[in-house]
Amino acid sequence: MSHKNKTQAQSPTATDPRETQSTNDNTTDVAEKALTDLKKQVTELTQIINEKDKHINGLKDELTQINNTYVEKINQKALEANKLVANKIQELNQKSQGEIAIARKYALMSQAKDLVDIISQFEAAVNIPSTDEKIINYLSGFKMFIHMFKTLLTDLNIHEISTTAGTEFNPEFMEVINFVDDSQFNDNQVVRIVTKGYKLHDRLIKPVAVIVNRKKS
């Protein structure tokens, strides 16, 4: 065998240990960088979730505060109404039965206005549009409370004035907030109801606030 073939038959050249160490170091650096980036993303996502939870909790606290405030006002007005009715009955005790009956019927007039204003503001607060499912579920409890409060109003002979869009404007129990020119409605018809109106028996407490159609000449 020639010297050249002998040389080729020898064992392969050994890998340089420094090259192996360099490759291992590069792999470790890449892995550490990927782990660091992943930790950073997890931290950012955690911060976003915490901020969302903080926002939701803030809304819940705000709605709870609104609820507590209005419940306190309602209880106060109810006590004042009871005292007022008792005082009116006592003052009119010597008058005729007809006068007493009328006084009882409308004794709550001033208190009824306050109660109606409270329920109107409360409805506006809970009907704020939201796409957050947690907030929507939370508001459902407040809407149940409104339903119960309206039952109380009914027991006191305070009733909503029934009217709808397309109804002819009636100044006896309606109040114009604005005029529009809408081709879908006739002249002087109600286009939209802004806030509800109420009556105590047959007396107007609060007119229905409406937007009325008025054709341009």
What's the pTM? 0.53
The pLDDT value given to residue 94: 66
Question: Which of 63, 201, 70, 81 has the alpha carbon at shortest distance from 148?
Answer: 70
- In whole angstroms, what separates CA 105 from the centre of its chain? 36
77: tokens are 């007005």
**Contact call for residues 211 and 192 (beta carbons, < 8 A):** yes
Residues of the chain with pLDDT under 50: 1-12
Is the CA virtual torsion 39, 43, 48, 50 positive or negative? positive
Report pLDDT digits (tens) over 22-60: 666 677 777 778 778 788 888 888 888 888 888 888 878
State the pLDDT at residue 9: 45
Which residues lie across from 178 on neighbouring strands?
A: 211
Closest CA to 163 of 207, 129, 99: 207
3-state class of 10 per DSSP?
coil
d(CA 158, CA 119): 12
